[in-house]
Every structure is written in C-alpha cells, then in structure tokens.
Amino acid sequence: MFIIGIAGGSGSGKTTLVNSILERVPYDQISLLTQDSYYKDSSHLPIEQRRVLNFDHPDSIEWELMRGDIQKLKSGQEIDSPTYSYLTCTRQPETIRIKPNKILLIEGILILTQPELCDEMDMRIYLEVESDYRLSRIIERDMESRGRTAQEVIKRYYQTVRPMHEEFIKPSRERADMLVMGGGLNTKAADFISSAILGKLISVFSLRNRRTTQKTSGSLFQPAWKVCTRSRLLAMTYRQKWKQRRRVAYRPFRQWPFSPLSFR
C-alpha cells in the first residue's frame, strides 16, 4: 500500500485536490481517510460550549485511533471509520466501511504535525495558499455547510484558526515532500500527482504479472518482451528492423562483398 498525505491550512483546497485525484484514478484502486472523522466526541458538553471548541489544535484529534486504523489498512484489514458532524459538533453513530487498496489518501489540516503519523506516509503534500484566499473560502464553506454566520466565521478565524495555523499547521510544511502552490485549484499539480499514482499502480501491476509469469514458467528471469503489451512489442519489433536496415545502409566499404575497384 502506498500512502499519500495531503495537508494544508483551513480553506486551502484539500478536498478539491482529493476530488480531482479521485476523478483521474480508478475508484477501486484508491481509498480515502479524512482527519475530520477523528475529532474527539464532545456530546457530553452543552451545545454552546461545543460551538466554541478549538478544532484547529492537535489535541482535538484522536491520533491513536487514526493511526491504528491506518495500520489496519496497511495490514489488509477493513476498518469502520467514524463520522463527525459540524452541525452538532459530535461524533455520529454511523460509520463508513473502508477497504484496503493499493493507494491510500489521508487528508487533514493537522496530519503533518504528528511525526508518528508522518512515518506511516510514503509521500507528504502540503498546499500553500495565501491567507486572504483561505479566509474567503472558509467564510463561504462554513456559511454553506456548517450553519455559521459570516460574523461567527470571521470571529472564529481570528481567535483560533489563524493562531493555530501559525503555531502548528504552517511549521508542519517542513515535513512535506511537495509544496503545491495555489492549493486545490492547481490543476497541473492534480495532473502530476494523479500521473504519479497511475505510474505506481502500473508498476505494481507489472511486477505482479512478472511474478505470476515466473511462477508458471519456473524460470527466475523472464525476457523483457514477455511482460510488454502488444503495442509496445510491435514498437520494439519495428525499432529493431529499422536499426538493422540502418546498419546495412551505413556499413563500411571493407564489409561490402565487392571492392570499389571492380567498377573500373
């Protein structure tokens, strides 16, 4: 299993980038795990206290549960991922069944703040977006899907979102292998990441076919043309014929069957 972590500040477009990748990669080869599903349950608190909770601090996440689920997926086990509601600020009784696949995407603002979680990832991506753009995106998202007014969103941004971004999220980009400028709207980055994922899937598929061929034939090494597709095999054949004709056309005089003097 190849694990890719996608992090960035709130409103940087992580969900947009994930959706772009999922549109380009076969859905049955990739799984998704979101950090938001692992927020600690606060159903024991009154609703007034829940609405002022700091969701941008690392202590708001059950990291041990999340890491345990990742390790289960790596070992080939299915998991029941928890779900969280921003409307009630509580964990829901429903769960989402996630199956292990060749590729696992992990998405969240704080996933790169945990060294133990970073060790589970093979590739770490951080979305770099200007704060003004992120704020406008946060206002639009929270008013639409989280039942907050514009004043509540702006107040929460300056009280918790921005300070936590400067203290925890922004420094975590030092652990990233790739910085995506412009965030989730960077289509070139989405194409590049998707191509890398597809290349990984093709290499795994080719290696599996090669191992299967070795087991059935009984030989340790197989010729390269046996693991090529039909189109590549034809291309190799035409290339070999072209090289052979070129060698004959440009053969030195001493290799010709006659001597140039015989034409006198």
3-state DSSP: the chain helix, strand, coil percent, rounded to 5? Answer: 55, 15, 25
What's the whole-model pTM score?
Answer: 0.74
In 3D, which of 197, 193, 186 has the Cα closest to residue 27?
A: 197
pLDDT tens digits, one per residue of 122-158:
999 999 999 888 998 999 888 887 778 888 889 889 9
Q: Is the pLDDT of residue 49 over 60?
A: yes
Question: Helix, strand, or coil here: 76?
Answer: coil
More confident: 170 or 222: 170
Average pLDDT value for residue range 208-229: 46
Enclosing H/E stretch for 91: strand 90-98
Q: Is the pLDDT of residue 22 over 80?
A: yes
Q: How far apart are CA 22 and CA 8, in angstroms?
A: 18
Contact 127, 108 (CB under 8 A): no
- Residue 217 pLDDT: 46
Look up residue 4 and give its two tokens. 């890719």
Average pLDDT value for residue range 60-72: 94
| Percent of the chain with pLDDT strictly greater than 70 | 77
